[in-house]
Amino acid sequence: MVFVDLLISTLTQGFIYALLSYGVFITYKILDFPDLTVDGSFPLGAAVTAVLLVNGMNPYLVLLISVAFGALAGLVTGFIHVRLGVRDLLAGIITMTALFSINLQIAGSNLAIERAVDTIFNAGPTMAVLGSMPLMFRKFVVALVLALVVKLLLDLYLKTKSGLLLRAVGDNSTLVTTLAKDKGTMKILGLVIANALVALCGSVVCQEQRAFSSTMGTGQVVFGLATVIIGTTLFRRFGFVKGTTAVLTGSIFYKICIQIAISMGLPANLLKLAMAALFLVVLVLGDKKRGGAENA
């Protein structure tokens, strides 16, 4: 029974953080943009969520507002890079640094949400459908539905004309220009969508943990990159597997690896070190597989 509870909890975390991984997938794999805004937009979504929930706002509406704030963060990064001509990496660092102070102004360094406050996991509509389930299983189902709905919407968008242009920006930006489209505008759009998804993840995490911390965004970009690389590496030989499916799988796999390390006695204060080490291993193995395929 303990194993089942642990598995359900780990899968729930994998589904929730897949929302962040979708955002990193857009910037890293599609746009080829090293966006460090993630470490700021993730806690931004959580900060907005914590404040609005404490003030009695509907938790579902809070999700949408958090998405809007994340989109705004992506817009700022895109504007700094595209319109002001700042290098992509530096543009993300500037926005991330600014967001740290903004998050402190919104919610302080820490903010807890009382048990009496409704979240998406125990609000009326959720309880009407899943009320007979224990809280752990409700979290699992809600996280699964969110991850799948966002994945399907993202897949549909990437098939549209706008989505195809977005994909072309990273692969062949000259093609976008020849189609009389502004590649800079498409980059900004990609950053807006990506950080909106990251902020959505921060909002769901905040509601799941019932707490906000100003440091909760630290290392999230590393997690996102690792899940994207894990997923794309696992399914490298399977061209029919969509990128979003690979990323979702990578998120679950990463969370399982971390949970195994914790179960084996890894101290909590070494968790970030373990994440960095796992990321390094994934990068090295991925490069070796790529090199082997090219040599073959």
Instruction: Identify the segments of the chain with pLDDT beneath 50.
Output: 296
What does pTM read for this prediction? 0.93
Write down the pLDDT at residue 286: 67
* pLDDT tens figures, 216-275: 998 899 889 989 988 988 887 777 789 999 999 999 999 998 888 888 888 878 877 877
Write down the pLDDT at residue 262: 84
Write down the pLDDT at residue 176: 67
What is the set of domains in the chain, with CATH numbers? 2-295 (1.10.3470)
CA gap 233, 180 in Å, rounded: 34
How do strand 110-112 and strand 211-213 relate by DSSP bridges? Answer: antiparallel
Question: Whose CA is closest to 259, among 276, 271, 245?
Answer: 271
Write down the pLDDT at residue 275: 77
Write down the pLDDT at residue 265: 83
Complete DSSP assignment for the chain: -HHHHHHHHHHHHHHHHHHHHHHHIIIIIIS----TTHHHHHHHHHHHHHHHHHTT--HHHHHHHHHHHHHHHHHHHHIIIIIS---HHHHHHHHHHHHHHHHHHHH-SEEE--TTS--TTTSHHHHHHHTTS-HHHHHHHHHHHHHHHHHHHHHHHHTSHHHHHHHHHHH-HHHHHHTT--HHHHHHHHHHHHHHHHHHHHHHHHHHHTEEETTTTTTHHHHHHHHHHHHHHHTTT-TTS-HHHHHHHHHHHHHHHHHHHHHTT--GGGHHHHHHHHHHHHHHHHHHHHHHHHH-
Complete DSSP assignment for 267-287: -GGGHHHHHHHHHHHHHHHHH
- Residue 116 burial (CB count, 10 A): 5
Please give the share of the chain, as a percent, with pLDDT higher than 90: 66
